[in-house]
Every structure is written in structure tokens, then in C-alpha cells.
Amino acid sequence: VSGLDWVAASVAASGRPSIATLSLGGGASTPLDNGVTSLVNKGIHVTVAAGNSNTDAGTTSPARAAGVITVGASTIADARASFSNYGAVVDVFAAGQNVISSWIGSTTATNNISGTSMATPHVAGLVAYLIGRNGNTSPAGIATLLRALSVKGIISGI
């Protein structure tokens, strides 16, 4: 939770539109949920990974926190990745299986990795784009726009 306090202080000092992306999760945690919701209430856009346990994300934190954009992982075949958490709190799915990413070891190292932690940064980038195009509206406003722009009925297995 101290890390969330640091984010809030950093954003307040900068005065700039900000997005926090949280690729973490676990069991239900009211302190974590409250800390993340506090960021949203301060106008910080927060994207969170739904989790990789093939379970209802509504039982995990911070995926269940109020006001966040919760991201599940999809496959190249437009299906929910078998590991991705799901449920009513998942706002959107993004590419999260077999994602080629930079890696450790050298400046040219890459790795093929999977997880909702791969999907969530895609959505954070889209949130940044939407802020750039539409101005820094509230986190709820951007989340509503994101859901409105999403294509419905494509991802199978949800």
C-alpha cells in the first residue's frame, strides 16, 4: 500500500494526467482495494490485471476494486486465455497470450510470455491515447469510453 501512496504523491507533485498500471493480485484485500480506489478518487486512471487463476476476478484484489479498469487476457484466436480470470468486474480483454516482450540479459533480449500482466499494459496505452484525444476526463469517464469503444461478443469463453 505504501507504493500506492508514492504514486498519489508523485501525481500530485506533477499535476499531469496519470495512469497507474498494476500487474499484481491475490486474494481479497480490503486495504489494497481501498488504496487503489483512493488513487481513482484522486483522478488517477488505474488499470489492473484480472489475474491468472482461471477464477472469478470479483474475488481477487485489486481486480475487484471500485473504479479501476480490470483487464483479462485473450488469445490470438479471440478467446479468453485459459488462465485468465473472468467475471463481471472484468471491463475488457486484451492480447495476453504468447506476447513477445523485451527481456533481461541484453539490450536485444526478448521472451514470449503470457498473462494478464501482458494484457494490462495494452489497455493502459489505450487509456493514454484516449486521454490525448479527449482530454483528461475522470477515470470513470475514460472507463466508460473504453467500454463503449470495445467490440462486444468477440471473445469466446467468457
In a domain, 110, yes or no: yes
In a domain, 58, yes or no: yes
In a domain, 95, yes or no: yes
Q: State yes or no: pLDDT of 82 exceeds 90.
A: yes
In a domain, 104, yes or no: yes
| CATH code for the domain of 39 | 3.40.50.200
Residue 50 burial by Cβ neighbours in a 10 Å radius (0-12, 13-18, 19+): buried
Domain count along the chain:
1
How high is the pLDDT of residue 95?
97
Confidence bin at 158 (pLDDT 50/70/90): confident
Domain range for residue 40?
Answer: 2-149
The CB-side HSE value for 27 (13 A sphere, CA atoms) comes to 0
Cβ-Cβ contacts under 8 Å for 142 (sequence gap 6 or more): 45, 69, 127, 130, 131, 134
How high is the pLDDT of residue 157?
87
Cβ-Cβ contacts under 8 Å for 38 (sequence gap 6 or more): 4, 8
Average pLDDT for 113-132: 97
In a domain, 141, yes or no: yes
In a domain, 65, yes or no: yes
In a domain, 158, yes or no: no
In a domain, 68, yes or no: yes
